[in-house]
Structure 1
C-alpha cells in the first residue's frame, strides 16, 4: 500500500492517507476532511461519514483533491539517508 503524502491544492495543504480500492482519507489543514473515492479519471466522490457510501454531488474541491492525488509523484528516497546511522 502507498505511504501517506501531502498535496497542495489552492494554497491549502491536504494530507492523504491511501486505503484500499481507490479510497483515500483526507485531512485538510490538520483536521479530518473525510474520505474520497475515485469514480472515473476526472470524477471523485466524497464518502458519507457515517455509512461510507458515495455521495454523488458535484464537488469541485473533491475533484481538485482527486486530480492532485492522480498527479502526485512520490519523491525518491535518497540512498544516503537509508545508510546513515
Structure 2
C-alpha cells in the first residue's frame, strides 16, 4: 500500500490517502474534503459522498489535486524537502 503524502497547490496543503483502484481520499485543512478518482490524464472525478459513484462535472480544484498527485508519483514520491534532507 502506498503511504499517505501531502501536496501543495498554491497556499493550500492537501493530505492525500491512496486507496484502491486509483481512488484517493483528500483532506483539506484537517478535514475530509473529497474522494477522487483518475478518469484520464487531465480529468479527475470527485466521488459522491454517499454512493461513491463518480460525479461527471468539471471541477478545477479536483483536477489540480489530481495533477499534483501525478507529479508526486512521477517524482518517485519525493518532494523538494525530502531531496534537500538527503543532500
**1:75 aligned partner:** 78
Offset of 1:34 from its aligned partner? Answer: 1.3
Q: Deviation string for 1:11-38 (max 9, x for gaps)?
A: 1000000000000000011111010000
What 5-or-longer segments of structure 1 have no aligned partner?
A: 78-85
Higher helix residue share: 2
What 5-or-longer segments of structure 2 have no aligned partner?
A: 83-87
TM-score, length basis structure 2: 0.84
Counterpart Cα distance in 1 of 2:7 and 2:78:
12
- After the TM superposition, list the runs of 4 or more consecutive aligned residues in structure 1 that deviate by more than 6 angstroms: none
Number of corresponding residues? 77
Give 1 or 2 for the bigger CA radius of gyration.
1
**1:4 aligned partner:** 4
In angstroms, what is the RMSD of aligned CA positions? 1.5
